[in-house]
Structure 1
Amino acid sequence: MNESKKRWQLLVIFNVVCLAAGWWYSHGHAAPPETKQPFANAVQQREAMIRLLQESNQLLREQNQLLKSGKLKVQVSESQ
């Protein structure tokens, strides 16, 4: 029983030390400072382009549905 209690104590101490080291690394001087990247993030640019293309495709689908429905009336008038 005594050996088991010592193991648990060592495990708890080890966990506390690991948590303290992680906290110190993330909040202290050991962690590298976050710097602004000199170039644009290509992944974010691609995501924005894909989102815009999907929106354009949706608008084109709506226009095609309107044209195919026959509910569209076109009036031509001369400009002055």
Structure 2
Amino acid sequence: MNDSQKRWQLLVIVNVICLAGGWWYSQGYAAPPETKQPFANSVQQRETMIRLLQESNQLIREQNQLLKSGKLKVQVTQSR
């Protein structure tokens, strides 16, 4: 065999080994099992709170614009 054939054979063997290792790892045999965290994810909680606060601020801005515009009419009726 010449050097070129040996290199190609070695390349094919290394690729097969890498693919088999990747498959084995992806099947969970070598990968650590996913565990449930004992506490809630604080980063996700902060992101949710920030998003909700931004939505609340937007609603308050809209309410203030309506109040300042003078187009708001309040009608009081007596309940029966």
TM-score band, normalised by shorter chain: 0.7 to 0.9
How many residue pairs get aligned? The number is: 79
Which residue identity is paired with 2:63? Q
TM-score of the aligned structures, taking structure 2 as reference length: 0.78
- Note the C-alpha offset of 1:4: 2.6
Instruction: Give, in whole Å, the separation in 2 of the partners of 1:40 and 1:65.
Output: 38
- Note the C-alpha offset of 1:59: 0.7
Counterpart residue number, 1:72: 72
Instruction: Give, in whole Å, the separation in 2 of the partners of 1:70 and 1:28.
Output: 65
Q: Does 1:44 align with 2:44?
A: yes
Which residue identity is paired with 1:42? S
Structure 2 stretches lacking a partner, 5+ long = none
Which residue identity is paired with 2:29? H
SS in structure 2 opposite 1:34? coil
- Note the C-alpha offset of 1:3: 2.2
User: Which is worse superposed, 42-51 or 19-28?
Assistant: 19-28
Which residue identity is paired with 2:41? N
Counterpart residue number, 1:9: 9
Cα RMSD between the aligned structures?
A: 2.0
Counterpart residue number, 1:57: 57
Which residue identity is paired with 1:9? Q
Which residue identity is paired with 1:50? I
TM-score of the aligned structures, taking structure 1 as reference length: 0.78
